[in-house]
Chain A
Amino acid sequence: MEASAARAPHVRPREAARAGGRASTAISVGIISTFLTVVVVLPIAALVWESHKSGADAFWQAVSNPLAVSALKLTFGAAFIVVLINIVFGTVTAWVLVRDDFPGRSIVNAVIDLPFALPTIVAGLTLLALYGPRSPIGIDVAYTRTAIVLALCFVTLPFVVRTVQPVLLELDTEMEEAARSLGARQTTVFRRIVLPNLLPGILSGAVLALARALGEIGSLVLIAGNIPGHTQVVSVYVLNQIESGDPSGAAAVAVVLLGASFVLLLAVGALRFFVTRYERG
C-alpha cells in the first residue's frame, strides 16, 4: 500500500491553489536565479569574456597547447576513477553507517566530513607524511598518478556518503521486508528495490565528487609532483598560466574544463531524470 502511494499520480490541486502555485514558482525561481547570477554566473561570465579577449585564435592556441591537453586528459581520467571509487565505497559506507551497528559507529559518522573541514594544505601535508617517502607504513606513492587519485579520494570522501545517508534514513523498509518475506534473496532485494531508490542520492554525490575532483588543487599540489605532461593536473597548469601573466590563456583552459564539466553535469542530470522516470513508469 505504501509502495503504491509512493508511486501514485499527483492529486490535482484546486484551481486557485494552482494559480498561486505558479506565482510562487515564479518568485522562487526569481530569487534563486538572482542569487545564482550574482554568485555563480557573473564570475563565470567574466572568465568566458577574459578567455576570448585576445580573439578566437589566441583561445585555440591556449587550449591546444600539448601540455594543456595532457593536463586535461589526466584530470578527467583521475576524476572518473575517483568518482567510480566513491560510488562503490561511498554507498557501502553510507549503508554500513545507517543499517549496521558497531562500536564507534557514531564517531566514524562524525568524522566523515573532516577531509572537508581541513585546509587542503594540511590534507596534502598529511597524505605526504603518510603515503610519501617517509611513510610510517612503508607505502610510498607520492609523485605518481596514484597519489593524485589518493588525494582526490580524500577530499571527495564525504560526498556520496552524505548524499546517500539521508535517503537511506528516510527509506521505507516495508517493501524490502515484504520482498524478503516473499522469498527474495538479499542481493535481489538490494538490486531491485533499494538501489533504484538510492540512485538519485548516489548520482548527486557522484556529481559533487566529479566537480570537486576536476577543480581540486590544494591537496594535490604537494603530493602529485606536478611534472608537466605527466602528473600536472589542469588546476596546476592554469595556476602556471596565471602566474606567468597570461590570465586569458588561463581563463581559456578553465573555460574548456568548465564547459566539459557542464556537459557532464547536464548528462548526469538527464540520466537521473530518465532513471526516476523509468521508476515511475
Chain B
Amino acid sequence: MRRLLLLALLVPVACAVVGAAQAHQAGTTVNLVAYSTPKPVMQKLISRFGYTSAGNGVSFSQSYGPSGSQARAIAAGQPASIAFLSTGLDIDTIADAGLVGKNWNKAPYSGIAADSVVAFVVRPGNPKHIHGWNDLVKSGVQVVTPNPFSSGSAKWNVLAAYGAARKSGMSDHQAVQFVTKLFKHVVSQDTSGSNAANTFFSGKGDVLITYESEAYSAFAAGKQGKLIVPKPTMLIELPMVALKDAPSAAKAFIAYAHAPKQQAIFAANGYRPVVKSVLKRPNLASWAKKYKTGPTFNIRDRLFGGWLKANRVWFDQNTGRMVGIERVVGG
C-alpha cells in the first residue's frame, strides 16, 4: 500500500519531466498559426516548400483553430511566424499587440493569400428555390449563420447581406431592416462557422450562409448540399502575414504561396486565387467556370470603409448596429 502511494507521487513527477523534455527542433522553425479550414491546402504547400532551396531544412509547426481565437492567442504570446487568418480584422488584432506592422496590407497582394466569397449552401435539389438574398427572407425559410459576435467569419455574412441590399438599391435604413428580417429567420446562431456547418449538415435549416471555400471543403468530405453564389456577394479576402520577428523562411514561404503553381493548388481546393492568371490553366478550367459567379464588392467599398470602420459601426458591443438587431430579434 505504501508502495502504491510512492507510485502515485512519482507518476506526476515523471510525467512532468517527460512533458518538459518535449524536444525543441534544431534548425529553422516556422510556426504557422492558421484558421481552421485551410489545413489540407497548407499541408500540401508546406510539404512542397520543403523541396525548394528556400524551404530546405525548414521545419514547420502547424496550428489550426477559429480565426479570432488564434489571433488572440498570438497576441497573448503564442509562438507564431506566419498568421493565416480569415479576416483582416484578426490581423489588426495582432497588429495592435505590436507583433505585426500596422501597414501589413501594403505587402504584395495586400497581404492576401487567397480569396473566397460569401455563399449559400442549400439542400440537394434546392427544394426551397433559394437563389439570392431576397429568398432568404421568404416565409418559412430557415437560415443558419454564426453569431457575428463570436465568429469573425460571420461578420462577412452580415456585411454581405447589408452590402447586397444596398447594391440592389435600398437605402441605408432599408438595408438594416433587411438584415434584421434576415436574422429573424435565423434558427441557430452558432458560435463558429464550423459549428454552423455542423448544425446545417445535421439537418437543421434550409440554407447555410458560409464561405464558398468551406462549402467546397464540406462537399469534398462527403457532405450533401448545393452551392449557390448569390448576386451580388461579398469578396472574402484571406490574409497571410509574417510576424515581425519571424525567420526569413516565413517571408519566403508567403512569397512561395503567391507563386502561380501554389495559387493553382488553392484554386483546385475551392479558394479563389489572387493571381488571376492561374485560372487560365487548362487543368483548372472547371474551377474557372465555378468561380465565374457574378459581381462582388469588398470591405474597402464606400459602404464599409475598411475593417476598422465597419467593425466599429456594426459590431461594437455597445453601439454596433448588430447589437440593436439582436435585441429586436431576441425581443
Chain A contact residues, CB within 8 Å of chain B = 61, 66-67, 70, 125, 128-129, 132-134, 142-143, 221-222, 225-230, 232, 236, 239-246, 249
B149 adjacent to A226 (CB under 8 Å): no
With A132-B204, A243-B68, A243-B69 known, 19 other A-B pairs at CB within 8 A are A67-B330, A125-B198, A128-B199, A132-B203, A133-B204, A143-B188, A143-B204, A222-B195, A225-B187, A226-B147, A227-B186, A228-B329, A229-B329, A232-B189, A236-B150, A239-B191, A240-B147, A241-B317, A246-B317
- The answer for the CA separation of A232 and B327 in the assembled complex, in Å, is 12
Q: Nearest Cβ distance between residue A186 and chain B, in whole angstroms?
A: 39
Q: Nearest Cβ distance between residue B281 and chain A, in whole angstroms?
A: 39
Q: Nearest Cβ distance between residue A240 and chain B, in whole angstroms?
A: 4
CB contacts (< 8 Å) of A129 on chain B: these are: 202
Known: A243-B152, A244-B149. A226 touches B188 (CB 8 A): yes
B186 adjacent to A239 (CB under 8 Å): no
Q: Is B93 an interface residue (CB 8 A)?
A: yes
Which chain B residues (175-214) contact chain A, with CB distance < 8 Å? 186-191, 195, 198-199, 202-204
Q: Is B53 an interface residue (CB 8 A)?
A: no
- The answer for the CA separation of A222 and B190 in the assembled complex, in Å, is 7
Bitwise interface map of B from 289 to 331 toward A, beta carbon under 8 Å scored 1, else 0: 0000000000000000000000000010110000000110111
Q: Is B86 an interface residue (CB 8 A)?
A: no
Q: Which of B195, B318, B326 makes the CB contact (< 8 A) with A228?
A: B326
Q: Which of A132, A227, A245 makes the CB contact (< 8 A) with B202?
A: A132
Chain B contact residues, CB within 8 Å of chain A = 68-69, 72, 93, 147, 149-152, 186-191, 195, 198-199, 202-204, 315, 317-318, 326-327, 329-331
Q: Nearest Cβ distance between residue B68 and chain A, in whole angstroms?
A: 5
Q: Nearest Cβ distance between residue B287 and chain A, in whole angstroms?
A: 32
- The answer for the CA separation of A222 and B200 in the assembled complex, in Å, is 10
- The answer for the CA separation of A129 and B203 in the assembled complex, in Å, is 9
Q: Which of A125, A226, A230, A241 makes the CB contact (< 8 A) with B190?
A: A226
A228 adjacent to B330 (CB under 8 Å): yes
- 10 A-B residue pairs with Cβ-Cβ distance under 8 Å, sorted by A, are A70-B330, A125-B202, A132-B204, A143-B188, A225-B188, A227-B329, A228-B329, A229-B331, A242-B72, A243-B69
CB contacts (< 8 Å) of A134 on chain B: these are: 202-203
- The answer for the CA separation of A208 and B114 in the assembled complex, in Å, is 48
Known: A61-B318, A227-B330, A228-B329. A243 touches B150 (CB 8 A): yes
CB contacts (< 8 Å) of B317 on chain A: these are: 240-241, 244, 246, 249
- The answer for the CA separation of A46 and B315 in the assembled complex, in Å, is 26
CB contacts (< 8 Å) of B68 on chain A: these are: 243
- The answer for the CA separation of A125 and B149 in the assembled complex, in Å, is 23
B149 adjacent to A241 (CB under 8 Å): yes
B188 adjacent to A245 (CB under 8 Å): no
Q: Which of B72, B152, B190 makes the CB contact (< 8 A) with A221?
A: B190
- The answer for the CA separation of A241 and B149 in the assembled complex, in Å, is 7
- The answer for the CA separation of A226 and B202 in the assembled complex, in Å, is 16
- The answer for the CA separation of A61 and B189 in the assembled complex, in Å, is 24
Q: Please, which residue of chain B has its CB at the minimum distance from the CB of A246?
A: B317
B152 adjacent to A229 (CB under 8 Å): no
The 7 closest A-B pairs by CB, nearest first: A229-B330, A133-B203, A240-B149, A134-B203, A240-B150, A228-B330, A243-B150
Known: A243-B151, A243-B152, A245-B93. A227 touches B198 (CB 8 A): no
- The answer for the CA separation of A232 and B186 in the assembled complex, in Å, is 14
Known: A128-B202, A143-B188. A221 touches B195 (CB 8 A): yes
CB contacts (< 8 Å) of B198 on chain A: these are: 125, 128, 222
CB contacts (< 8 Å) of A228 on chain B: these are: 147, 189, 326-327, 329-330
- The answer for the CA separation of A229 and B315 in the assembled complex, in Å, is 17
CB contacts (< 8 Å) of B69 on chain A: these are: 243
Q: Which of B189, B199, B315 makes the CB contact (< 8 A) with A227?
A: B189
Q: Nearest Cβ distance between residue A253 and chain B, in whole angstroms?
A: 11
CB contacts (< 8 Å) of A67 on chain B: these are: 326-327, 330
CB contacts (< 8 Å) of B190 on chain A: these are: 221-222, 226
CB contacts (< 8 Å) of A249 on chain B: these are: 317
- The answer for the CA separation of A227 and B331 in the assembled complex, in Å, is 10
CB contacts (< 8 Å) of B315 on chain A: these are: 244
- The answer for the CA separation of A125 and B318 in the assembled complex, in Å, is 33
CB contacts (< 8 Å) of A244 on chain B: these are: 149-150, 315, 317
Q: Nearest Cβ distance between residue B252 and chain A, in whole angstroms?
A: 32
A236 adjacent to B203 (CB under 8 Å): no
Q: Please, which residue of chain A has its CB at the minimum distance from the CB of B205?
A: A133
- The answer for the CA separation of A172 and B103 in the assembled complex, in Å, is 75
B330 adjacent to A230 (CB under 8 Å): yes
CB contacts (< 8 Å) of B189 on chain A: these are: 225-228, 232
CB contacts (< 8 Å) of A240 on chain B: these are: 147, 149-150, 191, 317
CB contacts (< 8 Å) of A143 on chain B: these are: 187-188, 204
Q: Nearest Cβ distance between residue A216 and chain B, in whole angstroms?
A: 13
- The answer for the CA separation of A134 and B318 in the assembled complex, in Å, is 38
Q: Please, which residue of chain B has its CB at the minimum distance from the CB of A250?
A: B317
- The answer for the CA separation of A169 and B318 in the assembled complex, in Å, is 54
A229 adjacent to B327 (CB under 8 Å): yes
CB contacts (< 8 Å) of B186 on chain A: these are: 227
Looking at A125, A133, A222, the one whose CB has the most chain B CB atoms below 10 A away is A222
Q: Please, which residue of chain A has its CB at the minimum distance from the CB of B183?
A: A227
CB contacts (< 8 Å) of B151 on chain A: these are: 243
Q: Which of A221, A230, A241 makes the CB contact (< 8 A) with B191?
A: A221
CB contacts (< 8 Å) of A70 on chain B: these are: 330
Q: Nearest Cβ distance between residue A238 and chain B, in whole angstroms?
A: 10
- The answer for the CA separation of A221 and B93 in the assembled complex, in Å, is 25
